[in-house]
Amino acid sequence: MTKVKAHLVDVDFGNPVVNPCSEINLPVLMEPKQITLLRLKGIRVYDYTESLDLESAFVEQDSCTVYR
């Protein structure tokens, strides 16, 4: 498996009914390139790793969340 650099983020799509099965939004792990792509699409992403000046985590690529 490939290890990738990941950040802990909270994604705000601006629509409260993004996932009707989920009552709360929890932070997820995401690759920095995915964070950039979401921000370019106008989606707000709060990056806890950047904001709190934490070290990036190296995790299995399968454990990262990808939004398309």
Q: Which two tokens stand for residue 20?
A: 């009707």
Is pLDDT at 16 greater than 90 in this prediction? no
CA 24 to chain centre: 15
Q: Considering the entire predicted model, what is its pTM? A: 0.78
DSSP state of 45: E
Select the more confidently predicted residue: 68 or 5: 5
Query: If pLDDT is split at 50, 70 and 90, which confidence band does 26 have?
Result: confident
Q: Which residues pair with 12 in a beta bridge?
A: 44
What pLDDT was estimated at residue 31?
94
Rounded Cα distance between 17 and 37, Å, is: 22
What pLDDT was estimated at residue 22?
57
Rounded Cα distance between 41 and 3, Å, is: 26
Q: Is 24 helix (H, G, I), strand (E, B) or coil?
A: coil
Nearest alpha-carbon partner for 54 in 5, 4, 18, 15 = 5
